[in-house]
A and B are shown apart, each in its own frame.
Chain A
Amino acid sequence: GAGVSQSPSNKVTEKGKDVELRCDPISGHTALYWYRQSLGQGLEFLIYFQGNSAPDKSGLPSDRFSAERTGGSVSTLTIQRTQQEDSAVYLCASSLGVGGNTIYFGEGSWLTVV
């Protein structure tokens, strides 16, 4: 596609429910990233994929968070048993490779847990 596509763009969910956030990266981009941005905060790295594998999951805040990528393309970030502190913007980005390749962001999925 022309850019990184994320869905849903907005999600309001009740505390305790599970949510799935989807990312469709730029075609041909092998690297995919998930970041979280809380109000007034910088970008917090969550996870990085190279192809379908995730060499670095160190940023996932807890075991309620998981992510997968299939076919070297679409990725899903799943948050189980959501808590209010999970409310944030979840940004997906992709790049051709690593080590200086420019990363391009989607518009984000705005999650509110009530």
Chain B
Amino acid sequence: QKEVEQDPGPLSVPEGAIVSLNCTYSNSAFQYFMWYRQYSRKGPELLMYTYSSGNKEDGRFTAQVDKSSKYISLFIRDSQPSDSATYLCAMAKSGTYKYIFGTGTRLKVLA
């Protein structure tokens, strides 16, 4: 079993839809949770960073962490064609350098 599981998609939604992207993990020691966006032929770009459980909101993006269920989510409100990209979750334990990445979910927002 992989430490981090992420549905690869592709996920196609109409413009304006609410998008939910998810990752599950097996290691309860993970404390830091990140979401990266990666456009085609570009490097991953940090979108959201969360420590431990709870929600964090930034504009149209909301990150949620549920440590009891070992489940993290990224919500995108009012999705735009420019949101079409691959979204990678990543997580890390306290005091470690090893960031574990999901395989990424490919999202396509249709105009």
Interface residues of A (CB under 8 A from B): 4, 6, 31, 33, 35, 40-43, 45, 48, 50, 55-56, 91, 98-100, 102-108, 110
Q: Kindly list chain A residues whose C-beta atoms are within 8 Å of the C-beta of B42.
A: 107-108
Q: Number of residues in B with C-beta < 8 Å to the partner?
A: 28
Beta-carbon contact of B41 and A99 below 8 Å? no
Once A42-B101, A42-B103, A43-B101 are accepted as A-B contacts, the answer to whether A98 and B43 lie under 8 Å apart by CB is no
Indicate if B46 sits at the interface (CB-CB under 8 A).
yes
**Per-residue A-contact encoding for B57-99, CB less than 8 Å = 1, 0 else:** 0000000000000000000000000000000101011111111
Set of chain A residues within 8 Å of B6, measured between Cβ atoms = 42
Q: Are A99 and B95 in contact (CB under 8 A)?
A: yes
Q: Given A91-B43, A100-B32, A105-B43, are A41 and B103 also a contact pair (CB < 8 Å)?
A: yes
In the complex, are the beta carbons of B49 and A42 less than 8 A apart? no
A83 to chain B, nearest CB (A): 23
